Amino acid sequence: MQDINEIIQRRRAIFPKTYLPGKPIDKAIIEQLLENAHWAPTHRLTEPWRFQVFHSLESRQALSDMMVDFYKRNTPAESFSEEKMKKSGDNPLLSGAVIALVMQRDPEARIPEWEEIAAVAMAVQNMWLSCTAIGLGCYWSSPRAALEADDFLTLEPGQRCLGLFYLGWHDMPQLPGKRGPIAEKTIWR
Ligand SMILES: Cc1cc2nc3c(=O)[nH]c(=O)nc-3n(C[C@H](O)[C@H](O)[C@H](O)COP(=O)(O)O)c2cc1C
């Protein structure tokens, strides 16, 4: 119990600007993360998680370009900033890998959509805790550029992108967590 308590409480969102540049993530590690994701609970065994891995520099560059283009197309002239535009594509290039998080709706809609989104979120938590266990930084990001990237990701019918999972090695000290008391959110009946 102590082992899992420690990993759960040590888990943090670690952002790409703190990732060590040029330190690659082995494909085998990413495969293990995906395998752990795959063991999340899933109502009716729909296994609604789909993942698109951007590992090579070329693929991360394409993701970055898409995000810059999204900023250009969706930012009104009065709030447009050249600097923000450039920055909008930084994260994929600062990361060792990025995983697009996609939910596949059950074609027969045997369970409500929220249960499939919940199952994908549990799969993400499995990856996040696995990263924590091996000291790999990561975080779930949900920018509009990703949520509306159906064309870029060539999503199939019933698929919906729920965000991007950034990954990278880091040497940051343990960040303190911020949570209120659980007792305030609990009623014992
Ligand atoms: C579904 C989901 C979407 C998130 N999207 C973003 C995001 O777009 N930008 C961001 O900075 N953090 C995002 N986060 C990460 C949270 O900001 C982070 O978990 C929170 O600050 C608590 O920090 P901790 O995870 O280190 O405890 C997201 C988390 C979840 C679960």
Per-residue pLDDT tens digits for 22-38: 899 999 999 999 999 99
Look up residue 108 and give its DSSP letter.
T
Cα(114) to centroid of ligand 1, in Å?
19
CB of residue 163 inside a 6 A radius of ligand 1: yes
Where does the chain have alpha helices with state H? 2-10, 27-37, 57-74, 82-87, 90-94, 113-134, 144-147
Nearest CA to ligand 1 atom 26: 12
Q: Span 157-177, mean pLDDT?
A: 97
* Contact criterion met (CB below 8 Å) for 129 and 140: no
Q: Span 155-184, mean pLDDT?
A: 97
Q: What is the Cβ-side half-sphere exposure of residue 40, based on CA atoms within 13 angstroms?
A: 27
Q: Span 117-125, mean pLDDT?
A: 99
Look up residue 16 and give its DSSP letter.
G
Q: Which of 17, 67, 139, 166 to mutate to test the pocket of ligand 1 (most atoms within 8 A of CB)?
A: 139
CB of residue 9 inside a 6 A radius of ligand 1: no
Look up residue 14 and give its DSSP letter.
-
Predicted confidence at residue 58, as pLDDT, reads 98
Predicted confidence at residue 81, as pLDDT, reads 95
Predicted confidence at residue 75, as pLDDT, reads 95
User: Residue 81 and residue 101: Cα distance in Å, rounded?
Assistant: 28
* Contact criterion met (CB below 8 Å) for 57 and 25: no
Q: Span 128-144, mean pLDDT?
A: 98
pTM reported for the whole predicted model? 0.97
Nearest CA to ligand 1 atom 5: 141
CB of residue 56 inside a 6 A radius of ligand 1: no
Look up residue 89 and give its DSSP letter.
T
Strand partners, 11: none
